[in-house]
Structure 1
């Protein structure tokens, strides 16, 4: 799914209006029907609505939603700045339609101070949409602060009021904190970054059937990894194949006390389907790896830490899980990289060793995949003021070094050398545990070994990792799920893929 800016989305609306037999007010009705349908289907225990509407088209959506849900049997109260004030043309139409109906009161914002917000009340936020490009004014700031203090569910239409669709909020900005955001047609970039995403709650994308011609022909560098994309990337196993058909994956990792990381990476490589899997680790991990991963072949790389990175040339390597940062390991890793011409996966301590000197970045083989979390990224490339700017720096470095960067976060971003960004929306906070990144390294190594391109490897691998975590969370909870549980769910994810999700 492509991600468009607020400006592009407005152009998309206008393009649809100009090419199809639909007017702007009809398109507003289409959007409002979609919102009303979602609320009526998902909020059956709530029959009381307090709808807060601005004077623009987002407010017009709210006014139409109020009317539609009233007709569906909801008890509806509408709040506006001034019922006699100036509204946008389409919002004015919906305000008139509302006034023509009996049973819905239209009140001023300040009357909400004495309103009874009980636990069955839904607050509908239709104050400002994607067009807002400035902080809220004083009156709206007071109102939003009051609504944020209410102990009831808040649903924002399109974007939470006060939040820009395309930029990070300033630290002191007042923004409505939604439990759900019902956005139109596509994700907004801001929703996918932690500084702004914390205001959206759960995001639901409502399809308004806007022009497909516009979306196909309009360029963007930003995408969301959705089911359609995954179906196009995934390659089912051929019936007439053998272990040689699916490559050789080698996991180089582990050190005294950190063999578990190598175990998790090796298990996930095996579970993801590599034809042959090797574990290059120090001798202190021999019994652990051979016992826990008997399907993998062991290669001795040292005694208590790896000092020898000799791996067969036809192997795809994933280096880093539990590697440690011993000087001898660092020296030999850099020596290996200087002579390596094949793309590989670098994670964890491999990145920490490289980051000790910025000159080491040039030794990362072209087309390789690196998987830093934010702190590792900072050690490699420097600090930034927010995650938007960190991503833009990642785009610069991916192009400069000709590598793929998997920037791990709540919505992990895959950054290509061409500057394209794919946001992943599978996964959950249960992955916030040591060992989760090691699993991803094993998955990526296995997919690359099987012949997926680097871009396909990153997109599919990150999605698989997150989807397995979602299944694990359903079984064990986000608190109690373990990285090993995520590995064990990979098989169920492949079953979903084989059954077309």
Structure 2
């Protein structure tokens, strides 16, 4: 699923009107009615009243359409026109007339007027500003937004929370509507998916307004949203006449005294994600642990009891996953360098392998093209340096991936996956996955897919989605508070089954 910028969204509306032979007022009517339908499913009726805050542009017009349908459904509705400028869009004027003609009343709000304070049982529909906002709102409108945010009412935003820009951070973080839910039209907005701006939306969902499919399909973009429909098409069926050699041999390189569990979880996740064979190269202290906990994994212990001092497994695996629980002692760092000088196969780096990479710049030149790196924000900062905002972080990830010819998996609420030219944001997952070991499991999943022949970029995107989907299924049995990394492994089978059922 594509993510468009503001200009592309406007062009999509324009082409939709031209190709479907409808007016802008008709498109607004469609958008408002579809939004009303979604509201009717989960937000109305309410015990109090619905307070529609309408601005001067087309976002306000959408709000007026919603208000008209709510009133028709016998919901108590009050429309407040937030007069922050002297001009009004033509489509807004049309829908103001329609609302009044249907028996509704519009209260005009100007600078200096008392700011409304919604009650606990009220629902606020925010339709003040849309995607075109690119400067700070007037101070009196900021005060209105502050009052709404600090009320006990539920707040629903139309398309985008008012005060939020499509690009860049708001100058005043308090001057943005903090919605409980945002209904956005047709496609996700980039700002919904970044940590510094995504918190304003609350939960969000898409409202289809049947924008022109040819325009959407043929318009290029750098940004995508990896949803269930897209990921299901990446999943490959298993061949009847296949054997363990068909599905790859994964080597997990990691573990140290007290941190064998990290490598263990990666290995078990690789097994559960379809690997034909999994081996683990670990310090000697991990030998009995592996042989006992996961007998399906072949264990290759090194002589040193506590750390990895060499990384020669004695065979050539299809993919190597390096880093979970590995530590970064000098002898381990040296072993990593020696191994990479002679290895040109598929590679996934995580955890301490990334920390070593950040400290030893020469290692970048040893990485095979298509190496998958899976940093969390702290690890990425050590590799790429600090940044001022999430937009800069995103651009740094794309630039570094492109320059180094690697796949960057930047973990977070909407994990970003980029090859330097495209960036995909992941749709699955939940806050319960913010727990120790979750990243080790992801490393195992991606490694298993690489071993099965998936290209690096596909393996990363599909692995991230399956990881999150397994976590989503798991919390139905546990909770976001109780989820553990091994729960994610336990529900991987369910995740594969569910995604397979969605394949076309």
Task: Specify the alignment match of 1:404 in structure 2.
Answer: 407
Task: Report the Cα offset of residue 240 of structure 1.
Answer: 2.0
Displacement, 1:91? 0.3
Q: What residue in structure 2 maps to residue 256 of structure 1?
A: 257
C-alpha RMSD of matched pairs (Å): 1.7
1:253 Cα shift?
0.9
The match for 2:41 is 41
- Residues 33 and 69 of structure 2 are in contact (CA less than 8 Å); yes or no, is this contact kept in structure 1? yes
Structure-1 separation of matches of 2:83 and 2:207: 30
In structure 1, C-alpha distance between the alignment counterparts of 2:292 and 2:91, rounded to whole Å: 69
Counterpart pick for 1:415 among 408, 414, 418? 418
- Decide whether the 8 Å contact of 2:81 with 2:106 is kept in 1: no
- With over 3 angstroms needed to count, the CA separation of the structure-2 counterparts of 1:357 and 1:256, relative to structure 1, is same
User: What 5-or-longer segments of structure 2 have no aligned partner?
Assistant: none
TM-fit CA distance, 1:411:
0.8
Aligned partner of 2:69 in structure 1 is 68
- Cα displacement (A) at 1:119: 2.8
How far apart in 2 are the matches of 1:388 and 1:19? 34
Task: Tell me the equivalent position of 2:271.
Answer: 270
Structure 1 residues 23 and 342: alpha-carbon distance in aligned structure 2, compared to 1, 3 A threshold? same
* TM alignment of 1:211-230, pairs within 5 A: 211-230=212-231
Whether contact under 8 Å (2:79, 2:107) holds in the other structure is yes
**1:363: Cα distance to partner?**
1.8
Question: Is the 2:235–2:500 Cα contact (8 Å) retained in structure 1?
Answer: no
Give the Cα separation in 2 of the matches to 1:45 and 1:249. 55
Q: CA deviation at 1:222?
A: 0.6
Which residue in 2 is equivalent to 1:161? 162
Conserved 8 A contact 2:115-2:144: no
* Equivalent in the alignment of 1:359: 362
Deviation at 1:489, TM superposition (A): 0.7
Q: Is the 8 A contact 1:398 1:415 kept in 2?
A: yes
| CA deviation map 1:50-102 (0-9, x unaligned) | 00000100000001100011111211001113599642100000000111122
Q: Check conservation: 1:63, 1:78, Cα contact below 8 A.
A: yes
3-state SS of the aligned residue for 2:498? Answer: helix
Secondary structure at the counterpart of residue 344 of structure 1: strand
- Number of the residue aligned with 2:235: 234
Q: Are 1:445 and 2:447 counterparts?
A: yes
Instruction: Output the CA distance in 1 between the equivalents of 2:170 and 2:107.
Output: 31
Name the CA distance, whole Å, in 1 between partners of 2:229 and 2:350: 28
Give me the whole-angstrom Cα distance separating, in 1, the residues matched to 2:84 and 2:447: 61
Other-structure match for 2:428: 426
Task: Verify: 1:321 aligned to 2:296, yes or no.
Answer: no
Partner of 1:384: 387
Partner of 1:485: 487
1:2-17 map, 5 Å: 2-17=2-17
CA distance in 1, matches of 2:173, 2:326: 41
In structure 1, the gaps of 5 or more residues are: none
What is the rounded CA distance, in whole Å, between the counterparts of 1:18 and 1:45 in structure 2? 36
Q: State the alpha-carbon separation in 2 of the partners of residues 460 and 7 from structure 1.
A: 30
- How far residue 14 of structure 1 moved from its aligned partner, in angstroms, is 0.5
1:151 equivalent to 2:152? Answer yes
Partner of 1:470: 472
TM-score with structure 2 setting the length: 0.96
What SS does structure 2 have at the residue aligned with 1:287?
helix
Structure 1 distance, partners of 2:329, 2:438, is: 23
Give, in angstroms, the shift of residue 384 of structure 1. Answer: 1.0
User: For structure 1, which segment, 194-203 or 73-82, has the greater mean C-alpha deviation from structure 2 after superposition?
Assistant: 73-82
Q: How does 1:302-313 map to 2 (within 5 A)?
A: 302-311=304-313, 312-313=315-316
SS in 2 for 1:241: coil
CA contact (8 A) 1:45 1:120 kept: no
- Compared with structure 1, are the counterparts of its residues 345 and 439 closer, same or farther at alpha carbon in structure 2 (3 Å cutoff)? same
Q: Secondary structure at the match of 2:270?
A: helix
User: 1:167 Cα deviation (Å)?
Assistant: 2.5
1:371/1:405 contact within 8 Å kept:
yes
Q: Distance in 2 between matches of 1:243 and 1:112?
A: 72
1:225, 1:424 within 8 Å by CA — same for their partners in 2?
yes
Structure 1 pair 471–45 and aligned structure 2 pair: CA distance change class (3 A):
farther
SS, match of residue 268 in structure 1: helix
> For 2:134 and 2:31, how far apart are their aligned partners in 1?
22
Deviation for aligned residue 1:168: 3.0
- Give the SS at the match of 1:380: helix
Change (3 A) 1:85 1:106: farther
* TM-aligned CA distance change 1:481 to 1:319, over 3 Å: same
Deviations 1:440-475 (A, max 9, x none): 000011000001111110110000011111112222
Contact 2:441 2:485 (C-alpha < 8 Å) held by counterparts:
yes
1: distance between equivalents of 2:138 and 2:317? 62
Instruction: Please report the TM-score for the alignment, with normalisation by the length of structure 1.
Output: 0.96
Instruction: State the Cα distance separating 1:160 from its structure 2 match.
Output: 0.3
- Matched residue, 1:29: 29
SS in 2 for 1:50: strand
